[in-house]
């Protein structure tokens, strides 16, 4: 078949979509993807392997992930009145949510934000409206958001709390104003909840159009792929119809349940990451020319003087350290870099190379 005939068969959206690019990172210090840098202690690994011996890979997994849902409810204090939908990462939850919308629907989010909202919306032929954040500190621009809501009547609004790649929590008063004005659903994406110290989980009780999305990826289980949505059963029962029955494999169900049932280990890792975040921010902020932004996540966003972001990014890469260069995205992210918090040794290495390159 000739390649020209692709456009006769495939969705027109595919011609405009660029594949999601993940850089090769073999042998590098990975500070680019908000992973937890810590592994599990040996005793814990032994216990985990014992749990995995109970797995039955010859059988289909529990399609309702009942045991895992109980562990999630307990670990994340999900209100009893809320229902849960599990996805193979929150990326899949986003896909399920957007597949449920009527064709022609508008999806709205502030920008810059998590790129998969736009990517998945456009791949499904939906319209995506991005409302620019305020240019000085990346705060939600409430008046622009409210006029965009009025103008575009979005079926669904995404608010990442805290936001990626900027790291900040939007003020609750602004989010509450968006919740009141929204004509449709509002998804508060709490991917960084373990590091944030605040959550909309309790607000699910009062607000039937609010949905809270979480993932275990940033907590320390990025390789497993588990994300979830919580919200009113009225909505979740419809989304559930689009979930493929066995999307959460038996190894993920057992491993995630095991990890959630050992909250102390994960909490100790989170505490270490949060205290390192404060140290890294203090040290980066003291470097001449670095503009530092607030972070309630496990990464920090910085801006460098004109012309420096890409050269510092390349210099770090040559030294074996991978961070995220946001400069190519342009706009508000011009000259911006995003650095994931690692272990104390990893952060020390990053800071010393960073000083060498900017000094």
Binding residues for ligand PLP, rule: CB under 6 A, are: 34, 89-91, 114, 160, 164, 189, 191, 215, 217, 222, 227
Mention every residue, 6+ apart, whose C-beta is less than 8 A from residue 145. 108, 110, 131, 174, 178
Q: Which residue has the tokens 């998969």?
A: 116
Tally Cβ neighbours within 10 Å of residue 68. 24
Coil, strand or helix: which one is 19?
Answer: coil
Nearer to ligand PLP, 300 or 308 (CB): 300
Mention every residue, 6+ apart, whose C-beta is less than 8 A from residue 275. none
Write down the least CB distance from residue 158 to ligand PLP, Å: 9
CB 26 within 8 A of CB 220: no
Nearer to ligand PLP, 114 or 200 (CB): 114
Question: What whole-number distance in Å separates Cα of residue 68 and Cα of residue 70?
Answer: 5
Write down the least CB distance from residue 151 to ligand PLP, Å: 25
Q: What is the DSSP letter of 168?
A: P
Which of 60, 112, 125, 120 minimizes the C-alpha distance to 90? 120
Q: For 211, list phi and psi in degrees, rounded to 5.
A: -125, 135
Question: What whole-number distance in Å separates Cα of residue 169 and Cα of residue 196?
Answer: 8
Question: What whole-number distance in Å separates Cα of residue 202 and Cα of residue 204?
Answer: 5
Write down the least CB distance from residue 120 to ligand PLP, Å: 11
Write down the least CB distance from residue 43 to ligand PLP, Å: 27
Nearer to ligand PLP, 126 or 226 (CB): 226
Write down the least CB distance from residue 24 to ligand PLP, Å: 19
Question: What whole-number distance in Å separates Cα of residue 169 and Cα of residue 139?
Answer: 8
Query: Can you read off the two tokens belonging to residue 162?
Result: 């805290």
CB 109 within 8 A of CB 184: no
Nearer to ligand PLP, 342 or 349 (CB): 342
Nearer to ligand PLP, 34 or 201 (CB): 34
Write down the least CB distance from residue 272 to ligand PLP, Å: 20
Nearer to ligand PLP, 163 or 347 (CB): 163
Q: What is the DSSP letter of 12?
A: T
Q: Kindly report the three-state secondary structure assignment for every residue of 161-212.
A: CCCCCCCCCCCHHHHHHHHHHCCCEEEEECCCHHHHCCCCHHHHHCCCCEEE
Write down the least CB distance from residue 115 to ligand PLP, Å: 9
Mention every residue, 6+ apart, whose C-beta is less than 8 A from residue 1. none
Nearer to ligand PLP, 144 or 222 (CB): 222
Write down the least CB distance from residue 191 to ligand PLP, Å: 4
Nearer to ligand PLP, 90 or 295 (CB): 90
Which of 35, 96, 100 minimizes the C-alpha distance to 228? 96
Write down the least CB distance from residue 299 to ligand PLP, Å: 9
Q: Which residue has the tokens 């500070």?
A: 31
Nearer to ligand PLP, 227 or 231 (CB): 227
């Amino acid at each position: 078949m000739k390649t020209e005939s692709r456009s006769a068969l495939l969705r027109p959206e595919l011609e405009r979509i660029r594949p999601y690019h993940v850089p090769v990172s073999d042998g590098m210090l990975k500070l680019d993807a908000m992973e937890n840098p810590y592994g599990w202690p040996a005793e814990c690994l032994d216990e985990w392997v014992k749990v995995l011996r109970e797995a039955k890979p010859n059988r289909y997994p529990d399609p309702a992930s009942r045991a895992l849902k109980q562990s999630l409810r307990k670990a994340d204090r999900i209100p009893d009145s809320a229902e849960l939908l599990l996805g193979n990462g929150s990326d899949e939850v986003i896909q399920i949510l957007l597949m449920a919308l009527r064709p022609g629907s508008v999806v709205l989010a502030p920008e810059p934000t998590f790129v998969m909202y736009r990517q998945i919306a456009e791949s499904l032929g939906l319209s995506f409206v991005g409302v620019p954040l305020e240019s000085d500190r990346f705060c939600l621009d409430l008046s622009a958001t409210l006029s965009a809501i009025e103008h575009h009547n979005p079926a669904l609004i995404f608010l990442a709390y805290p936001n990626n790649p900027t790291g900040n929590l939007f003020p609750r008063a602004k989010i509450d104003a968006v919740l009141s004005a929204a004509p449709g659903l509002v998804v508060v994406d709490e991917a960084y909840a373990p590091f944030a110290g605040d959550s909309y989980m309790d607000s699910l009780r009062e607000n039937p159009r609010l949905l809270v999305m979480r993932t275990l990826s940033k907590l320390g289980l990025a390789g497993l792929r588990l994300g979830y949505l919580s919200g009113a059963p009225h909505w979740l029962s419809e989304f559930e119809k689009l979930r493929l029955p066995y999307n959460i494999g038996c190894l993920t169900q057992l491993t995630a349940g095991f990890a959630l049932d050992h909250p102390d280990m994960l909490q100790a890792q989170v505490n270490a990451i949060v205290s390192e975040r404060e140290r890294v921010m203090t040290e980066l902020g003291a470097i001449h020319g670095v503009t530092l932004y607030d972070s309630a996540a496990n990464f920090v966003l910085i801006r460098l003087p004109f012309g420096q972001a890409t050269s510092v990014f390349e210099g770090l890469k040559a030294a074996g350290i991978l961070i995220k260069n946001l400069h190519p995205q342009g706009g508000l992210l011009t000259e911006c870099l995003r650095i994931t918090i690692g272990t104390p040794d990893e952060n020390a290495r990053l800071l010393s190379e960073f000083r060498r390159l900017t000094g």
